[in-house]
Structure 1
Amino acid sequence: MDFELLLCFILLIADFHRISCLFVTDINVPEIVDFRDNVTLSCSYDMSGHTLNSVKWYKDKMEFFRYSPMMHPVYMKFPVTGIQVQDGKYFCNESTCRIELSLLGAKSTGAYKCEVSGDAPLFKLADKADNMTVAALPQSDPLIESFNSMYRMEELLSATCTSDYSSLPTRLTWYINGEQASLGELQPSIDTSIPAHDYILRRQKLQVRFYLSGPRFYHAGKILELKCVAEIENFPELKRETSLNAALIHYDNLNNQMLIHAGSGASGSASAFTHHSSRKSIPLLFVIYLLLSSALSFL
């Protein structure tokens, strides 16, 4: 083989390897976000010797942003339903592109793609995409109501847990001193829904009722802990919880206190009776004295 031909073949292989190396290394699209928040999307890419021609962002196959470093204007925005690129909130270069979006509710949910292209003559393309769900997420921890600061053993406890409104189904779970409440200790849940912000927002209420008896309370000492956990299926990072503690009074302590109070009360009553009786004994003796005097004078 001729030396020049061999050299051209080697260069062709090397050039083919170089051309095949353009790829998107990473894309950052949040899996789920609240519609009230702004969102930052970013992607990174390896040009491997290519000249960057453009970076394009798509939502559901519709382009809404473009970075073209060799053209004017360098940045371009396109109207797409459900999103709005914030003015001045974007930055792109030869290795990364980051943009910040304002969301417009449920219409912002979709597949977001970052596409990178090299310059002429091949205009090599590489892309990556990911899905983003935009929902009305709970903003506060679950609320526990009808829970007192002190309970007696054998007493019936009844408390209610209420989740915050959410467009995604919420599951409530009660824990009593670290143990999950049994089905027999739970009342049927109550689901309330209202339309708002183009969503159907739902709120869950779950009541727990049980008697303070059994080993889990006798072994717990003097503290009762009640915890309510609100979870959204498939999104463990959205879990919220509330815990409350109460003093737990055992019957032996209660009886001792009752005996002390009863003893104090009885002692006070006895003193009062003695004092009251001594005051009434004087008139009675005087009457007896008069009767005896009259009888003696008669004799």
Structure 2
Amino acid sequence: MAVDPNSRLPNEDPKIEGVQASYSVGSYVTANCTSSPSYPPARMDWFINGVKAQQWFLDYYYSDKPISDLNLESRTIGLKFQADSSHFHQNEGYLSLVCLATVADLTRTSENKAYLTRLTKEKFAQQFTNYHGRIKAEFLLLVVLVVVIHL
């Protein structure tokens, strides 16, 4: 591929923001990745554990004005998906998120790893208590509705 003589390649790797240190199964993973300024603007991609992210996991954010008189532009791509057990590598319990920013023949990358939250006895007890309390509240609401309907 011929490089446009007016091209200005990004001088830094893309910046990933918003990734937490750990996630539990069922929680939402959200992150943004921003390229450093370039011309033309970088093509942005996310990979989850080495597999290109599904299109519906992505949000594209475009700037409507160049950063400088050189027409340099930065691009941001958002990622959002619900974590399930298949997203965490079996042996090590982590999720790999890689962002690529490509301009011409140059690809710059950044990677973040997030780990699977382990369910401790205390967290399990708290979740069970919350679940049990919700059942009590739903049952009480049902009883009230039945009484009101029969009046």
TM-score by length of 1: 0.38
What corresponds to 2:108 in structure 1? Answer: 240
Shift of 1:202: 1.1
* Cα distance in 2, alignment partners of residues 195 and 154 from structure 1: 38
Cα separation, partners in 2 of 1:259 and 1:162, compared to 1, 3 Å: closer
**Cα pair 2:21 2:114 within 8 Å, conserved:** yes
Structure 2 residues not aligned, in runs of 5+: 127-151
Counterparts in 2 of 1:167 and 1:218: CA distance versus 1, 3 Å: closer
Aligned residue pairs total: 125
The one-letter code matched in structure 2 to 1:240 is R
Q: In the alignment, does 2:3 pair up with 1:135?
A: no
TM-score (structure 2 length as normaliser): 0.71
3-state SS in 1 of match to 2:88: helix
Indicate if the aligned counterparts of 2:6 and 2:39 stay in contact, CA closer than 8 A: no
Query: 2:44 matched to 1:172?
Result: yes
**Equivalent residue, structure 2, for 1:182:** 54
Contact 2:14/2:110 (<8 A) preserved: yes
Offset at residue 257 of structure 1 (A): 4.7
Going from structure 1 to structure 2, the CA distance change for 1:220 and 1:194 (only over 3 Å counts) comes to: farther
Match runs of 1:192-203 below 5 Å:
192=63, 193-194=65-66, 196=68, 198-203=69-74
| Structure 1 range deviating more: 155-164 or 217-226 | 217-226
1:133 Cα deviation after fit: 1.2
SS at match of 1:135: coil
Q: Give, in whole Å, the separation in 1 of the partners of 2:91 and 2:76.
A: 27
Q: Is the 8 A contact 1:177 1:220 kept in 2?
A: no
In structure 2, the CA distance between the partners of 1:210 and 1:199, relative to structure 1 (3 Å rule), is same
Q: Which amino acid aligns with 1:245?
A: K
Larger Cα-atom Rg:
1
Q: Which is richer in strand?
A: 1
Task: From the superposition, tell whether residues 195 and 157 of structure 1 become closer, same or farther in structure 2 (CA, over 3 Å).
Answer: closer
Code of the aligned partner of 1:164 = S
Would you say 1:258 and 2:123 are equivalent positions? Answer: yes
